[in-house]
Amino acid sequence: MAATELTLYELTGANPELRFSPFCWRIRLALAHKRLNANCIAWRFSDKQKIAFSGQGAVPVLVDHGQSIHDSWRIAKHLEENYPSQSLFGNASASLVQFVNAWADRALVPAIAQIVILDVFNGLHEQDKAYFRASREKMLGASLEAVVEDKPTKITKLKRVLAPLRQALGEQAYLGGNAANYADYCVFGMFMWARCVSPSELLEKEDPIYTWRERLLDAFDGMARAAFTVSENQRLKVTYP
Amino acid sequence: MAATELTLYELTGANPELRFSPFCWRIRLALAHKRLNANCIAWRFSDKQKIAFSGQGAVPVLVDHGQSIHDSWRIAKHLEENYPSQSLFGNASASLVQFVNAWADRALVPAIAQIVILDVFNGLHEQDKAYFRASREKMLGASLEAVVEDKPTKITKLKRVLAPLRQALGEQAYLGGNAANYADYCVFGMFMWARCVSPSELLEKEDPIYTWRERLLDAFDGMARAAFTVSENQRLKVTYP
C-alpha cells in the first residue's frame, strides 16, 4: 500500500517538530516495527476542529484508508490485525502486552509527570498553555510548579516504580525477549515523552533500563534518538543523583 | 518420571494443612499446569535445619532428582526447561512473564500485606510468631496491628494497584490469553495467600479480576478452591465495601 494511505495525528508543542506524546510515540514505533510509513500531522490541544471527523478530542488518531481509529491500544490492535507481518505482540497474548500497556499508563505516567510536567507545559504553544495548566492542575491538585518540587526525591521514587521492568530486563534484552515488541514500545514511549521536553535524566547509567533505552533509541536507524528535543544541550548538563 | 522424584518444601502455619505462601502457590500451580506430581513437605520459618541442605533459609525449595532449586522464579524456569510440555510461558518471552512476576512481588505483596499481615501472623505456629512479628514489624516500620488499621481504605488502595490487571482482563480471560499460564499464577498466588489466612474479601463481585480468580479457583479440578483456609466460615461473612 502507498505511504499516504496512513495518516497519524500527533501532539506537538510550540515547535511543530516537537512530538512529545508518549501515546503517539507508541504508534510511531509500532509503525516503524511494521515498516509502515504514515503521513504524520502535527496537532495541538486547541486544534479540536482538526480531528473533529474522528469524534475524538485527543490524539493519537490514525486514519487508515478513510477509517479513523483512536486510542493507542486500539490503534496497535488495528495495526496487528490489518498488517500481520512483523508481529507487534510476538507470540505473547494480547492481554499480557496490554498489562504492560496499562502498567505504563497507571504507574509510570504519574511517576514521570511528577518530574517533567512543568517542562511539558513550557514546551507547549501559547494557545495550549492555559488549557493545559488548568486541566492538569485540577487533576493533580497542585500547581505545576509545586508538583515538580524536589526532583531528586521524585527520581528516587520513579526508580522504585520501575523495579518490575528492571527485574524483567535482567535476563533478556527486551520485554519481547531477544527483540523488542509493543510491550517495550509502551514503556519506551514514556521515556521519549520525558526526553523530548525535559532536561532531567531519569535513569542512572548503571541501570539495565538505561541500556535497554539506549538500544531502543538506536532502533530503526536511530529514529527516536534523532527526534527533536527542546533541550538537547541543556539535557546533557543536568542530572539528578 | 515417578511422582516421588520431585519434592516441594512449602510454608505452613500452626495447622500443617495451611499452605499459604504466595510463592509456594505459584509452584503448586506450575506443577499442576505441567501435570507433575510432587511430594509436598510442610515447612515452618523456624525449621531452618530441614532445608539446610539447599543452602537456603526460605521456601519454596524444589528438589528434582537430588538437585535443589530455590526461589519461585528460578523454579518456574527450571520446570519450563526440564519439562517442556504444557509450556508455562505459552509463547511469550520469559521477560514478559517475569515482568508480571516482579510486579506482583513489588506492587501486590505490599498492598495485600496491609490488609492480611495480622491474619498471617495469627495463622502461624507459636514457634514462628516471635520471629515473624519482629522481622515484619522492622520491615514495615509499625506494629502488625497498626499496619492493618482501616482495612476499607487499604482495599480501595489495592483496587487502584490492580488497575493494570483489570484492564488486561477486560478483553481476554487470562493474562495468558485464552488459557492461564505462569503470568496468571504469579498473580493468583497472591490471592491464595490472602484466601488461606484471612477473612477479608479483597475484590468486588463486579470486578473482572473476581471472575478471573473464580476461574483459577476452579482450575485443575478445583485444587485451589479446595485448599485449607483458617477461616472459611468467617471469610464468607466479612466483606469490606
Does the beta carbon of B169 lie under 8 angstroms from any beta carbon of chain A?
yes
Q: Is the pLDDT of residue A202 over 70?
A: yes
Tens-digit pLDDT profile for chain B (241 aa)? 444 589 999 999 999 999 999 999 999 999 999 999 999 999 999 999 999 999 999 999 999 999 999 999 999 999 999 999 999 999 899 999 999 999 999 999 999 999 999 999 999 999 999 999 999 999 999 999 999 999 999 999 999 999 999 999 999 999 999 999 999 999 999 999 999 999 999 999 999 999 999 999 999 999 999 999 987 645 444 443 3
For chains A and B, CB pairs below 8 A equal: 114
Does the beta carbon of B140 lie under 8 angstroms from any beta carbon of chain A?
no
Predicted pLDDT at A238: 45
State whether A92 and B94 contact (CB < 8 Å): no
Does the beta carbon of A22 lie under 8 angstroms from any beta carbon of chain B?
no
- Number of neighbours of residue B6 by Cβ within 10 angstroms: 19
Q: Is the pLDDT of residue A240 over 70?
A: no
Nearest CA in chain B to A179: B93
Nearest CA in chain A to B169: A95
Poorest-pLDDT segment among A170-174, A177-181, B4-8: B4-8
State whether A174 and B98 contact (CB < 8 Å): no
Contacts of A37 (CB under 8 A, 6+ apart): A3, A6, A31
A-chain residues within 8 Å CB-CB of B174? 93, 95
Task: In whole angstroms, give the CA distance from residue A19 to residue A13.
Answer: 7
Does the beta carbon of B168 lie under 8 angstroms from any beta carbon of chain A?
yes
State whether A95 and B174 contact (CB < 8 Å): yes
Predicted pLDDT at B231: 75
B167-170: long-range pairs with CB below 8 Å, 24+: B167/A98, B167/A99, B167/A101, B167/A102, B168/A95, B168/A96, B168/A98, B168/A99, B168/A102, B169/A95, B169/B208, B169/B209, B169/B211, B169/B212, B170/B208
Q: What is the pLDDT of residues A94-118, one digit of tens each?
A: 999 999 999 999 999 999 999 999 9
Residue A99 vs residues A25, A54, A95, A102, B166: alpha-carbon distances, Å? 18, 26, 6, 5, 8
A89 to chain B nearest CA, in Å? 9
B88 to chain A nearest CA, in Å? 12
State whether A90 and B95 contact (CB < 8 Å): no
Q: Could you tell me the pTM of the whole model? A: 0.94
Confidence of residue A2 (pLDDT cuts 50, 70, 90): very low
The C-alpha cell of B113 is what?
A: 500485606
B-chain residues within 8 Å CB-CB of A92? 90-93, 96
Rg (CA), chain B: 17
The C-alpha cell of A162 is what?
A: 520501575
In angstroms, the first-to-last Cα distance of chain A is 48
Q: What is the pLDDT of residues A16-61, one digit of tens each?
A: 999 999 999 999 999 999 999 999 999 999 999 999 999 999 999 9
Predicted pLDDT at A232: 66
Half-sphere exposure of B204 (CA within 13 A, CB side): 11
